[in-house]
Chains A and B, each alone.
Chain A
Amino acid sequence: MSAPHVSEPKPDRDALLTRTGTLAVLRPSQHVRGLVPTPPPREGALDLFLFLDDEGAVLAFNGHVDLGTGIRTALAQIVAEELDVPFAAVTMVLGHTQATPNQGATIASDSIQVSATPLRRAAAQARRHLVGLAAEALGLPAEDLTVTEGVVHPRAGGNAGITYGALLAGRRERLLLADEVALKPVAEHRVIGRRMPRVDIPAKATGSFVYVHDVRVPGMLHGRVVRPPYAGVDAGDFIGKSLIRVEEASIAHIPGVVAVVTHGDFIGIVAEREEQAAEAARRLVVHWKPTPPLPDLTDVAGALRANPSDARTLLDKGDVEAARAGAAVKMDRVYVWPYQMHASIGPSCAVADVGPDGAVIWSGTQNPYPLRADIALLLGLREETIEIIRHEAAGCYGRNCADDVAADAALLSRAVGRPVRVQLTREQEHAWEPKGAAQLMEIKGGINADGTPAAYDFSTRYPSNAATTLALLLTGRVPAVNPVFEMGDRTAIPPYAYDHMRVVAHDMAPIVRAAWLRGVSALPNSFAHESYVDELAAEAGVDPVDYRLRHLHDPRAVDLVKEVAARAGWAHRTEPRREVVDGDVVRGQGFAYALYVHSKFPGYGAAWSAWVAEVEVNTTTGDVAVKRVVVGQDSGLMINPAGIEHQIHGNVIQSTSRALKEEVSFTDTAVASREWGAYPILTFPEVPVINVVLMPRPDDPPLGSGESASVPSAAAIANAIFDATGVRMREPPFTPDKVRAALAGEAPPRPPKPEKAKRNWFTLAGAALAGALGMAAVALPMRGTIAPITPPDPTSFSADMIARGRQLAALGDCAVCHTVPGGAENAGGRAMETPFGTVYSTNLTPDPETGIGRWSYAAFERAMREGISRDGRHLYPAFPYTAFTKATDTDLQALYAYLMSQPPVSAPTPDAHMAFPFNIRPLMAGWNALFLKPGQMEADPARSPQWNRGQYLVEGLGHCGACHTPRNALGAEKAGAAHLAGGWVDGWEAPALTSLSSAPIPWSEAELYSYLRTGFSRFHGTAAGPMAPVVQELAHLPDADIRAMATYLASFSGPAMADPAIKAAELNARAESTLRPLDTLGGKLYEGACAACHSQNGPTLFGVRPSLALNTNVHAARSDNLIRVILDGIPSPAARDLGDMPAFRDSLDDGQVAALARYIRSTFAPDAPAWEGLDGTVARLRGMKGTH
């Protein structure tokens, strides 16, 4: 493969069939009813399964698609085997509606077991036909011929031989697929059964494989969708009817937006560039009606019992009631399975090109034909006019959002008349993917005195269906009524020969959007079956494997169970062994077995599977580690044993993850888990050793291997926990908090109930306070106007002077306050929120009308020293003239020269909105009389020149105190010990720079220098919020000045710590040792969302690794700074080498941010008191529109 990009082959079926020099095997198109039904094919339609041409090409067609499981390789092996061509000659065409047969959705592990059958027969039939043609051509009996690598030749050997290609020259062979075709005997297999490397991996490993995410077509635009607030809910009369209004003006400032498309509750944005669409989707203001509450899903069992259902008896034999009544010990058990996610690593993506007469959709769907039907319904087009081109996507393990996003793209493309690519966000994929359903299994039974099972009365409740494609519901095209699917019955019949047994499935509509996920309903059902049989064995005092074998009569199952037990070194036991490994850690071994029976009841089996799981449980912390899994599988004939082993590994790891960690959380109205922190999956350090036992059964038909090895997982692990601890876990996931509760004999802890959304109204207390104090109504006269001048010629200032002025402007952060984000530098207009109202910074460019162009130096100096504008009006002390007044004349002159030499920008300053009495500017004269101490900085002769230089910079133009000194009720900086003792600006806490600092390691001169110079201190962290632009500006100052500032500021710190590095290491180590990533929501969020960049043991990434254990904000009295950084990240870091910190505003809800802050506080600042009222703080800060 040397093509730069390896893509899906997309041959045109009809064009192929018109070619001469070809052979095709066809079959009348079949009507696929299936789980996801499609309309009947047109009369006389034929499906193409196999196509050969005279150049030796072999195209093989299958309606199923490769979901990352490797069936593209295995199917090609089947074709190469039966056709006797080189493996590399076969090209598979999968799931393209214009070429491949409709074989239904790629579900139920059926691709090899069922869907490959006609293809295999077609290959055998074609070979037979080609041998017949060769017999004619060579004048030899067909029986005397054989085929090697596509060459037909006499068995006897010799030089005679003819290639398939040569045989087809000038011919058009069209074969109808025969019902009976002799397949190659296993003994002659040379491709099937070989460990075949996958054909797609080289391209995937080099970036040349084209996933659906990588499809680009000419003229393509980028789309994003905005989903309704009822995230992950798809039934109810409010679906599609909740949108009140879209404020398109809210994104008017974003360039590149082509269209905002609304249709019912469907909202999409199309833009020229992807980041423009993404930003517009984030910023679009949408008003929705309130969302009705969900049932309480913190109590899944209660919700499932309350959900209306129809009982369907699957099996009733013997006399269950009488047998149970006669049991020596009655054993009624309840097993509860949580909602889980498919959790594809790549959020779904699609490209659509919709015209008036048809559409082309590039999609990662698992069911191209049903998707085509959906798109036809959505757009009102005929199905034949729609082409679905299937590309591989991120693994889905069932139904994710692949179809949803295809429909979204279709709507947006139709609206703009151009191809549109839609990429869902991580948050949308998590929230809206149809979940793997929760399930409730209840067993009423008992055991007889002789240890035999008395009765088995099993019922299962499963709320799931096919999850109608979302756009159909959001647009109202299809009513949002949830049909009931009979899908809870997979593997509902236990494998054991219980004499008195009843099995009832309670069919019910979904509660939240749900569809099939690997081992659909069978994994939960088997969890109950295999846990219960283990409980019976324990009650009987019989070894769990022996007990199973007494009641298991399927010979292939028996062989598998025995083989796996032997290979695992199964330790015979009649009670939990509680083997101590070390200290509090105990070890256990658990067994489980399942034949995955799926499809419409009674269904049929895929591969058989059995597990021995070995776990270690810490009885103090409740941590469960799965150390090793020995897993056996009987898959019948194995097409590609390497592929099967791969699937087994995948199933073991994914289902271990589900058993140990996974559970979707909900708010009172919607799915709450929207990123990997809230929904953690197994990570590398947690992956067990896996030993695979493949049962050799080459003479039996091949069986599906995509799901089977998941099915025994949770029971095997629960049974191992029982062996280790004697405690029975019946509600996955087996998280440490649940295990601790079980060890303590308590009921499983439930997640806290989500609270109804609360609004927190915070008033500006400062305004009221100051108003009450009044302003000592000193009505001093307005000061005089200083005459305007003609703007000075910039060339009248020396270059040196301008350059020094530029440094001083940076020191004074002029541009930080006097520039609106994205606006012209120093042109003013930036809103400054103060406790007394909103003021706007003025235009500092030399524009004569709106800026300071007509200001003489005298006017400028008066403003800087006294806070009085050229026209005599008082400026508000948000402008820090109380500090600037300390500057030297030389410096002010240089600053003036710099400002006057900037390009003039016309930008009027908006009027301030100040509360009374602060709206009366002349009153500021009285304020000045009270708080302005005019006069230049005086040096302290007792201090070093460096300290004095630092004092001048910090207290003068640097105006550090403006933020870092607390202010009195009238907004003036406090003096004395309060100087630099910490203040508030713009909703951020400016931490104390004195010994009052809450930093766990006191600031030193070296660290202050590092922080001011680079934006980062190893003992304190990163400059964020309003400090980030300050450090950016300080970059203009020479090192000597930064050192001087550090010297001066350090003189306010407490005594230096003897060895801060050792202290830092201690604090980091203490925090790292107490991390609990699975106990609490906060722990999960830290591990999933923060640890990659912040953990001291995380991967080495570009940028700094700020330690939370050392961070001042984590140790501060108030949580505001930490929460603001979580919500908004660091949009513009202080320096380019620090790396970037993303915003989590759109990924975590208020409760999650509060839980995260609570966890960070307790883990990284364990000596500090817990923060109170975190939920309210998060809500307040989320609503705050800071100016920085």
Chain B
Amino acid sequence: MTGTAPSAPTVMLTVNGTAHSLALPGDTPLLYVLRNDLGLNGPKFGCGLGECGACTVLMDGMATRACVTRLATAAGRDIVTLEGLGTLDAPHPVQAAFIAEQAAQCGYCLNGMIMGTAAFLARNPTPTEAEARAALRHHLCRCGTHLEILRAVMRAADLLKAAEGPSA
């Protein structure tokens, strides 16, 4: 960790289950902390304005645009990034659904699509396709992968239901 401001107070953050203590100013964008200090490449810089969704992470379970979230806002909270959702060997059902549906071209927006979907399905486990479209309205994709992504959302809903088991 280079260049931390010496006078900055220490901020505690739990990221993907690991507690971190960071001596950084409270107005440091969360996205830069995740990427540069914690080496988490999942969240991507897209606009810095909260417009495109490429930087989405989960904060206390809610989708959050990390590019406009200050470290002070994130302090003490539980952050989950794409890496924390699942891994290559053990992908989360949403990740597995996106892989199965081949829901990426360049894949730069993929982080936001997957994290946004994870948050959406947590609230609405049995969405219609129209609801999925509305939920992802403010996630931008330029390659035109929307149809594969929508199929992935619906498949992810099925996978999550299956994972919950028959008691659900």
Residues on A facing B (Cβ under 8 Å) = 1-2, 5, 67-70, 197-198, 200-211, 213-214, 216, 222, 255-256, 271-276, 343-347, 392-395, 397, 423, 425-426, 642, 646, 649-654, 657, 675-677, 681-685, 687, 690, 1088-1089, 1091-1093, 1097-1103, 1131-1133, 1136, 1139-1142, 1144, 1147
Contact = CB atoms under 8 A, between A and B. Distances in A.
Interface in B92-120: 95, 98-99, 102-111, 114, 116, 119-120
25 contacts: A67-B106, A200-B107, A201-B98, A201-B104, A205-B95, A205-B99, A207-B111, A208-B87, A209-B107, A210-B41, A343-B142, A344-B142, A345-B54, A345-B141, A346-B54, A392-B106, A393-B108, A426-B47, A646-B105, A653-B147, A685-B133, A1093-B50, A1099-B139, A1102-B69, A1132-B27
Contact of B106 (A222, A395, A1140): A395
Contact of A1144 (B49, B59, B87, B146): B49
Given A68-B104, A201-B99, A209-B41, 8 more contacts: A68-B107, A206-B95, A207-B41, A394-B142, A646-B148, A684-B133, A1139-B64, A1142-B48
Contacts of A1103: 62, 64
Contacts of A1147: 49
Nearest to B41: A214
A1102 B60 contact: yes
The 8 closest A-B pairs by CB, nearest first: A68-B106, A272-B3, A207-B42, A653-B144, A395-B106, A650-B144, A204-B107, A1092-B138
Q: From DSSP, what is the main secondary structure of chain B's interface residues?
A: loop
A545 to B, nearest CB: 26
A1097 B39 CA distance: 34
A768 B39 CA distance: 57
Contact of A345 (B41, B109, B120, B133): B109
A1089 B104 contact: no
A94 B111 CA distance: 24
Nearest to B114: A205
B5 interface: yes
Contacts of B69: 1102, 1139-1140
B162 interface: no
Contacts, number: 253
B144 A273 contact: no
A1003 to B, nearest CB: 27
B41 A1089 contact: no
A74 to B, nearest CB: 13
Contact of A650 (B44, B62, B139, B145): B145
Interface string B38-77: 0111101111111111100001101111011110110100
Contacts of B142: 343-345, 394-395, 397, 654, 681
Contacts of A654: 142-144
A1098 B27 contact: no
Contacts of B42: 206-207
Contacts of B98: 201, 205
B2 interface: yes
A5 to B, nearest CB: 8
B3 to A, nearest CB: 3
A68 B59 CA distance: 29
Contacts of B75: 1136
Nearest to B51: A676
B82 interface: yes
Given A273-B36, A675-B49, A684-B139, A206 B91 contact: yes
Nearest to A392: B106
Contacts of A394: 106, 108, 142
B164 interface: no
B12 interface: no
Contact of A206 (B51, B72, B86, B141): B86
A373 B143 CA distance: 29
Nearest to A274: B32
B51 A652 contact: no
Contacts of B23: none
Given A205-B91, A345-B54, A675 B144 contact: no
A392 B81 CA distance: 21
